[in-house]
Amino acid sequence: MAEERILRSANLRSEYRSDRGDVVGEFYVPALEAAGRYDRAVGYFTASTLAVLGRGIDDFIQRGGTMRIVASPYLQAEDIAEVEAGYALRSVLERAALRDLERAAEDPRAARSLGKLGTLVAEGRLDIKLAYVASGNRVGMYHEKIGVFRDAQDLVAFKGSANETLSGLVGNFESIEVFRSWDERDSERALRISRDFEDLWQDRTPRLRVIPFTDAAKTVVERTIRDVGSVEEADDIPANGAPISVTPQDTKGILAIPMDLRVRDYQKEAVQNWFEKGCRGILRMATGTGKTLTALSAAAQVARVLKKREQPLLTVVIAPYQHLVDQWAKDIERFGVTPIRAYESTESWYRRASNLQHALALKATPGGVIVTTNKTFGDSAFQSVLGNYKGQMLVIADEAHNLGAKHLRTKLPENAKFRLGLSATPERWFDDEGTAVLTDYFGEVVFEMGIGDAIKAGALCRYTYTPVIVELDAEETELYVEVTEKIAKILAAQRFIEDPDEDSPLGALLRKRSNILGHARAKLPALQHEIEKRRDDWFQLLYCAEGRHPLSYETGADEEPSQLDQAMHLVGNQLRMPAARYTAETKRTERTDVLQRFSERELQVIASMRCLDEGVDVPAARTAYLLASSSNPRQFIQRRGRVLRQAVGKSMADIVDFIVVPPEDAVGIQHETERRMVARELTRVTEFAHLAENEAATLDILRPLRSRYGLFDT
């Protein structure tokens, strides 16, 4: 800008008032046309101001003008509640300020002006900061309204009632006072207002705090540089003209099927069925059949269709645990998108998720993916992100049965048009209501592939199944009978049995009885016999019962080692086989290391409890020892699936299952109680044996047991 006193030539008066003239046309526009720098501190600022300033801002930009804005975002009730609840204040303020800019973008009068703002930001000529009053865990708005225009030598300062908004500059009745540095009557106040702004900008004002905002605002404003050009070009084309040729948009955020991915025919069928049902439904696919890749292929197809319509898509993937989120993230990256991983502290993901939400709403990006855990999904912070988003959304639920739990089923976002549930066993165990909620939300099962079909299709490997029969000892039998009698009394006293909550008396007793079978002491000697047969084999998984033996709680014998500890001692110390634990206490980085060492033949055995049940990829595993017994079909189906995954050089898997029965000479246990115990165990055995390569041999092993209890039909 030429060094001349052009502000003096703008003929600015000392006061402007709505009843005596046009505040915008008579003051703002002439001042901008004359100034090379504009500083503004205001109650709250939105980019719609630029739609009002019109020609003045054009000249300001062309002459290389610079702007500094200090604003206090408008805080809604939920924003204040989050601050008081301990959410990061900076994140709340930034989200509120971005919300102001989004609303400005919805005003057609501001479309081109937002592009001009984007130009200033991109060229480093606009800087924005947020101001607020801080007091303890409460926050107040900054309401002062001052401004300073400068040229090479002079300045014009002003203060008054007008906010930098359309309503503030046009719709309201406003007045401002103007102080010119070259007028002796005004110079002292003009310089004082200028110093006040500088102190504010440098965060030197007592009781006020000022934080940077420019980088956060870029997501909203910079994209308008491109959009403004497109809008201007489109405006020149007649309504009946030829189709508009649009430059391809940035594909960032759009899932795309990788070129090297072989999508199997059954996966294509699953995606097709889902589309035919309006992009809603559940895929009941056996563990190891590629549910994740099938789901991402479906998501990629949805994203492709919506991209043609210029409708951005937010894809939200919900998985049970953090390590599953990490696995999903790797697969999503293979589809060309780096997702936001939302778990652990809110500060680690909330700002990025909010920024993505804003960018999608403003079509600054064509798509984006957030992957989260069940826990984080249910928290208020994540729910606020989903609730505030009004665009196209796809929800993918991994192990969807978990979302039928009472504390999660009400959190499923109703504004998601596209919904995909994944589970080998979508029905919830003893929870018809939760199952119905899932079906109502996601839709019916639209594709099904069981383990038998998957083995025939070559998606899973064949396997042999070896049931190993072990007996309860006398103490375990006595406790089993006692617990069973208590369960029977509760069932007899209740006409209608609801889903037995784990904390309820019935739920606790059922869990205790299951633990008696899971911790049966005879399992360890039987395990030693089986594992010695495979002492030189690699890739072995060992599933142990959780917690400690129920009798240790009865006797107070806290020193009794857990089944996992005993198994690790057997494998690592007695048999000298390299082994490692994989439990809930294992850190995430250590889990990755354990799986890597296992696949590279540094570990022969991984001993776990429940952490390998859902979703963890261990394709190298050849042998699985099922020490833990469960009548829940989901658990044994998941565990079988872990070891049936295909891998290079792997053609067969081996499953060793430990079946618990009463001793033949049991005292005090009724025959019907024995029979029911064995029947529950044989339910799992029958399921496993039916598809095994050695089904006939398995039936021979079980024949004496079936004969003793009259269970040939089980």
Q: What is the DSSP letter of 167?
A: I
Among 456, 484, 503, identify where a domain stops.
456
**Statement to judge: residues 336 and 368 lie in one domain:** yes
Task: Flag whether pLDDT at 232 surpasses 50.
Answer: no
Residue whose pair of structure tokens reads 């989050």 in the numeric block: 82
Instruction: For residue 530, report the phi and psi dihedrals to the nearest 5 degrees.
Output: -75, -40
pLDDT of residue 177: 92
- What is the average pLDDT across 454-470? 91
**Statement to judge: residues 479 and 449 lie in one domain:** no
Output the domain CATH number for residue 60. Answer: 3.30.870.10
Q: What is the DSSP letter of 573?
A: I
Residue whose pair of structure tokens reads 């401002």 in the numeric block: 176
Task: Flag whether pLDDT at 49 surpasses 70.
Answer: no
**Statement to judge: residues 473 and 435 lie in one domain:** no
**Statement to judge: residues 365 and 487 lie in one domain:** no
Asked if residue 145 is part of any domain, the answer here is yes
Alpha-carbon separation of residue 656 from 114, 506, 641, 714 (angstroms): 66, 31, 14, 20
**Statement to judge: residues 417 and 474 lie in one domain:** no
Lowest-confidence range among 343-347, 378-382, 665-669?
665-669
The 8 Å CB, 24+ separation contacts for 12-18 are 12/156, 12/178, 12/180, 13/178, 14/177, 14/178, 14/179, 14/180, 14/186, 15/175, 15/176, 15/177, 15/178, 16/160, 16/175, 16/176, 16/178, 17/174, 17/175, 18/172, 18/173, 18/174, 18/175
pLDDT of residue 466: 94
pLDDT of residue 202: 93
Output the domain CATH number for residue 427. Answer: 3.40.50.300
- 536-589: pLDDT as tens digits: 999 999 999 888 888 887 655 556 789 999 999 999 999 999 999 988 788 877
Cβ distance 704 to 659 under 8 Å? no
- What is the average pLDDT across 690-701? 89
pLDDT of residue 119: 67
CA distance 422 to 321: 15
The segment with the largest mean pLDDT, out of 134-138, 370-374, 404-408, is: 370-374
Cross-strand pairs, 469: 659
Cross-strand pairs, 423: 284
Among 406, 440, 456, identify where a domain stops.
456
- Single-letter residue type at 158: F
Task: Flag whether pLDDT at 430 surpasses 80.
Answer: no
Asked if residue 249 is part of any domain, the answer here is no
Q: What is the DSSP letter of 27?
A: I
- Single-letter residue type at 149: F
Q: Where are the beta strands (DSSP E) in 529-636?
A: 540-543, 579-582, 605-608, 623-626
pLDDT of residue 251: 46
- What is the average pLDDT across 410-425? 91
Q: How many CB atoms lie within 10 A of CB 163?
A: 20
Residue whose pair of structure tokens reads 């056996």 in the numeric block: 286
**How far is the first Cα of the chain from the last one, in angstroms, to the nearest whole number?**
92
Of the chain, the percentage scoring pLDDT greater than 70 comes to 78
Task: Flag whether pLDDT at 45 surpasses 90.
Answer: no
Q: How many CB atoms lie within 10 A of CB 574?
A: 11
**Statement to judge: residues 421 and 520 lie in one domain:** no
CA distance 280 to 417: 8
pLDDT of residue 162: 46
Cβ distance 401 to 283 under 8 Å? no
Asked if residue 554 is part of any domain, the answer here is yes
Asked if residue 235 is part of any domain, the answer here is no
The segment with the largest mean pLDDT, out of 164-173, 287-296, 607-616, is: 287-296
b vs e for 604-632, b when ≥16 Cβ sit within 10 Å of the residue's Cβ? bbbbbbbbbbbbbbbbbbbbbbbbbbbbe
Among 210, 230, 250, identify where a domain stops.
230
The token duo for 599 is: 């696949």
Q: What is the DSSP letter of 656?
A: E
pLDDT of residue 163: 44
CA distance 580 to 198: 61
Number of domains in the chain: 3
Q: What is the DSSP letter of 24?
A: I
Asked if residue 714 is part of any domain, the answer here is no
Asked if residue 252 is part of any domain, the answer here is no
pLDDT of residue 22: 74
**Statement to judge: residues 444 and 497 lie in one domain:** no
Burial of 107 (0-12, 13-18, 19+ CB in 10 A): middle
**Statement to judge: residues 137 and 115 lie in one domain:** yes
Task: Flag whether pLDDT at 295 surpasses 60.
Answer: yes
**Statement to judge: residues 101 and 62 lie in one domain:** yes
**Statement to judge: residues 427 and 517 lie in one domain:** no
CA-wise closest residue to 342 among 366, 316, 312, 313? 316
By three-state DSSP, how is residue 168 classified? helix
Domain hosting residue 349, numbered range: 265-456
Asked if residue 313 is part of any domain, the answer here is yes
**Statement to judge: residues 549 and 663 lie in one domain:** yes
pLDDT of residue 47: 47
By three-state DSSP, how is residue 349 classified? coil
- 300-327: pLDDT as tens digits: 999 999 988 889 999 999 999 888 899 8
- 72-131: pLDDT as tens digits: 877 766 666 666 666 667 777 777 777 766 665 555 445 455 556 666 777 788 888 888
**Statement to judge: residues 397 and 344 lie in one domain:** yes
The chain-wide mean pLDDT, for the chain, equals 80
For the chain, give the number of residues.
714
CA distance 429 to 419: 22
The token duo for 568 is: 């690790």
- 470-498: pLDDT as tens digits: 999 989 988 988 888 888 888 777 654 45
Asked if residue 195 is part of any domain, the answer here is yes
pLDDT of residue 553: 72
